[in-house]
Structure 1
Amino acid sequence: MSWKRASITMTLWTLLIIHTLARAETETEPTTTQLTTTRAAPTTSAAWTTTWELALSEGQAIQKALQFLLAQRRADWGWGNDTHHVMLTLQLANNTGKEIEQQSLEMQLSAKQMEIEILLMMSKHHESPPPLARLAAYTLALGALCKDPRSFHGKDLVSALLHREQPHDGEFAYATLAACSSAAHVRRRHIRRLLDIANAAADHSLDTISMVILALRCVVQDHRHRSLLHFVRRPMAGLARQQHPDGSFGLLTTTALAIQALEDSDNGPGAHQHWSLPAARKWLLEQQQPDGGWGSVADTAAAVAALTPASLAAVRPPHCSDKLLDTRHEPLDNNGGDGNIKLAYQSGHASNDSEARNVSFTYTLWLGTNVTENYTLYMMAPRNISFYHVMQMAAEQDAKFKFEASEWPNGHYVHTLAGHREEPMGYHYWLLYRLPEVPDPASPPGNQLVAPVGVDDLLVEDGEHYLFWYKKL
């Protein structure tokens, strides 16, 4: 093992021991009665000894696991389909405050490989949208690397996440967690859906409930919604009660995720009386194989993430906050006073709903009555901007969206897009639609959804979808 790898793992080991002992000090703090007796001292000492041994055991396990993960790295400096999982885990394990540019050359090369993978994935979204879970994982990994996923080589990964209405509750919660971790716009309906899932915890898997808890905790902590705190208590307590006698929550990945969801429960909503964190971590350690891994690369990354002091609950290091764009969030209701739940990422000043804010939306091109070509951009723009200006932004971002227009006294008339000009003799025209959801070629919109005004007068709205369709009338 190189000295660089040894430095990473030894730093982690030290941090883990300090973190575990600090937590143990809180858990084993003697009461006033214990302080005045001599019988309590041996118990406290024994608890410290056990905690110290556990910390050493966890430190050794993580060191072996990091060696296993680094040994699986490929010639291109990535980990195949698991690069995003491993990079996120390595950053959580190397939670020293160093940005990727300050780390070893090997880590920088792996980070560049991940960026290449993201760009390749996004370049193919014209053919099919990127998998939501993978997109969320890349977003979290970029956050751990102190990079803003909303401004990634001209692409907004968070908008791509938020404009995909995912029917699977687990992936929806994962996407919301990734967006929240990026200090991005968290919509009212997204929070309401998280709360609905939490209220029906018995109908969902433990993985889904763990992810919902992590997403809600992010909303509570990073967006200052303390009034949501009591909504988190019930699902946390319910999840805690699902711990098995052996300390696990069933599968390895389920246990690792539950640990991260409940790890700080003694400082938060209060589910600690229903479960044992040491038992869960001990079970996880017992599953480690002699080679240092937990079977696959993905499972190993999940286990390490659960054992490190940092976790999915706190992906972005504190010193990265100033690298985030300042966005604003809608109020969940219109009530005033202390009970008002405001979805605002505040940056040193109070939120004002009348202030300008960015809006996110999609812009799609369809070619052919039967839609032979389909191109979509996930975009973010200032509020109250005209669609004509959006078209100019899109043309700079993607050559497919370049256009030509004639200027008339009442505004611009778009006649050419993606190299296709209107053909009045053949009854082929460009029609602009304003839609409530991403257009689906299998269920094309009716003409009643054609935009009622021209491109200069049409102002883009948050969460809407705009389609320019070249078709025969």
Structure 2
Amino acid sequence: MVYLPLILGFSLVAFGYSQDLELQTSISTDYKETTEPVKVTSPITEQLPEKVTEKSIESSIRNALKFLISQRENDWSWRNDTPKVLTALKLLHVYEDVLDDILPSAYELQLSSKQMEIEIVIMLWRHHEIPIAPSQLAEYCLALSALCYDPRQFHGHDLIGTLQHHEAPNDLDFAYLTLAACTARAHVRKKQIRRLLDIANTAKDHNIVAMTILALRCIVMDHRHRNLQHSLRRPSISLARQQQTDGGFGNIYNTALVMQALDDLTELKSYWNKTAAKAYLEGRQDPDGAYTDAGLTSDVLLALIEKGLGVIRLLDCGRHDSDYENNVDIEGLTKSLSAHGNDSEIRNVTVTYTLWIGSNITENCTISITAPRNTSFYTIMQMAMDMDSHFAFEASEWPNGHYVHTLAGYKEEPMGYNYWLLYRLPELPDPSAPPANQLVAPVGVDDLLIEEGDHYLFWYKKL
């Protein structure tokens, strides 16, 4: 029931905007054509063939956009495709000077955004009845990021945290979930990066490789992982060479996704023909401007305007990358621990490790442990379990490290949103003044390295 006031609030906001919109603007179904071409910047300077001109691409974009507008429901949504369509519309706004007669107004876009927020709230509210699909949640997270909302702070819910608690069922979803997390500037662990690199070099399906390249290109935007840039060349060239004689990569979706993945990689110019790929998409557009449905049409639009999912992180939303105390690069050799002095010094340090049970903290247990500096917290947990059975735990081995799901006999309950949260604190945790969310450890138990004076808290609570 905690969501009911929020839903009612959104509904009132949407109603108010609707009334205001009726007074100020009217939605016209007569779309005027413009003779000014859409200026889509291309990294390739080759001459366009006669059948694929800038004007024909402009026509495809305009017709696809008209189709999307025509598919909008009375509640300002696009049913299950709302997040994809909103992402495309937001990125299309960079061409508002030439598409202004078709693009939704700011009022309309905000109404659709509010409707999407309602959809997310309902999805969270009904997760007991209908489990949340990780790929669907990733779509919402990407849309929120495109709209300059932080999915880590969605009305008190960390959607990225929820996303990362789900194990991806396949390589495509894993890459998609990682892309959503990276786009929101969340921490990506070294084992996740290693898995992405492995997928990029071994996967055969075009869509899997393309999505993986998109995720890796997002990660490379972080200055800590610039050294991965060279690792993208081989899988990118291999993917580019898979272009077929008709210009496509197997089907419409694969072609649109590959175009997004290879966009702006000018060194690949000799390995594939972007113009032929655009011609492939243009030739498969339905007479009404659609590419089958609103979701696929949105994917194609991102490819045609050369503003794909990979650029969302670059949008100017007035936010900056978060600073993490412990960040380990792909080789695990370079650790950012400048706040703790000289890394070469080996000595023993003492830390405390506390368990809290319940949001109202019905159980509180603390132990002090001395171990060599820079010992992983996972090792500390093993030492604590040997010293006191109350600290016994169970963990799953994931590609990105150990995931602790049970402590002191309490197992996480995703359906009830009961999770174990790990905090790294500057002082012993006080039940009368619980730590804020920003003190949650930025990395997992394997990558978290202990220092003198650290205090660690594992808190079993309802999110």
Question: What band does the TM-score fall into relative to the shorter chain?
Answer: 0.5 to 0.7
Query: What whole-Å deviation, never above 9, does each CA across 1:212-252 have from its counterpart, x for those lacking one?
Result: 00011111124452211121111111111111100000111
Choose which of 352, 360, 363 in structure 2 pairs with 1:403: 360
Amino acid at match of 2:113: A
TM alignment of 1:50-199, pairs within 5 A? 54-95=53-94, 103-127=105-129, 129-199=131-201
Q: CA deviation at 1:271?
A: 2.8
CA distance in structure 2 between the partners assigned to 1:124 and 1:166 by the alignment: 21
RMSD: 4.3
Matching residue of 2:310: 313
Matching residue of 2:328: 331
Q: CA deviation at 1:434?
A: 4.4
8 A Cα contact 1:146 1:316, kept in partner: no
Amino acid at match of 2:278: R
Rate the CA distance shift 1:8–1:220 in 2: closer, same or farther, 3 A.
farther
Choose which of 265, 268, 271 in structure 1 pairs with 2:268: 271
Rate the CA distance shift 1:9–1:190 in 2: closer, same or farther, 3 A.
farther
Amino acid at match of 1:84: P
TM alignment of 1:328-407, pairs within 5 A? 330-332=327-329, 352=337, 354=339, 388=356, 402-403=359-360, 405=362
8 A Cα contact 1:150 1:159, kept in partner: yes
8 A Cα contact 1:435 1:449, kept in partner: no
Rate the CA distance shift 1:9–1:90 in 2: closer, same or farther, 3 A.
farther
Matching residue of 2:218: 218
Rate the CA distance shift 1:187–1:7 in 2: closer, same or farther, 3 A.
farther
CA distance in structure 1 between the partners assigned to 2:62 and 2:222 by the alignment: 31
8 A Cα contact 1:95 1:317, kept in partner: no
Q: Which moved more, 1:240-249 or 1:119-128?
A: 119-128
Matching residue of 2:41: 19
Rate the CA distance shift 1:468–1:82 in 2: closer, same or farther, 3 A.
closer
Rate the CA distance shift 1:69–1:354 in 2: closer, same or farther, 3 A.
same
1:436 aligns with 2:395: yes
Rate the CA distance shift 1:95–1:81 in 2: closer, same or farther, 3 A.
same
CA distance in structure 2 between the partners assigned to 1:116 and 1:130 by the alignment: 15
Amino acid at match of 2:86: M
Matching residue of 2:13: none
> Aligned with 2:316: secondary structure?
helix
Q: Which moved more, 1:326-335 or 1:79-88?
A: 326-335
Matching residue of 1:374: none
What stretches of structure 1 of length at least 5 have no aligned partner?
Answer: 29-46, 343-350, 356-382, 392-400, 411-430, 439-443
CA distance in structure 1 between the partners assigned to 2:288 and 2:260 by the alignment: 24
CA distance in structure 1 between the partners assigned to 2:32 and 2:362 by the alignment: 57
8 A Cα contact 2:83 2:140, kept in partner: yes
Rate the CA distance shift 1:333–1:49 in 2: closer, same or farther, 3 A.
closer
8 A Cα contact 1:330 1:353, kept in partner: no
Q: CA deviation at 1:436?
A: 2.6
Query: What whole-Å deviation, never above 9, does each CA across 1:250-298 have from its counterpart, x for those lacking one?
Result: 11101110111112221xxx33322100000111011011101111111
Q: Which moved more, 1:61-70 or 1:312-321?
A: 312-321
CA distance in structure 2 between the partners assigned to 1:446 and 1:409 by the alignment: 13
> Aligned with 2:116: secondary structure?
helix
Q: CA deviation at 1:328?
A: 5.9
8 A Cα contact 2:359 2:460, kept in partner: no
Q: CA deviation at 1:124?
A: 3.0
What stretches of structure 2 of length at least 5 have no aligned partner?
Answer: 1-24, 98-103, 341-350, 368-389, 398-404, 412-419, 421-427, 446-457
Amino acid at match of 1:285: E
Query: What whole-Å deviation, never above 9, does each CA across 1:339-382 have from its counterpart, x for those lacking one?
Result: x5x7xxxxxxxx54647xxxxxxxxxxxxxxxxxxxxxxxxxxx
Amino-acid identity (%): 37
- Length-normalised TM-score, structure 2: 0.67
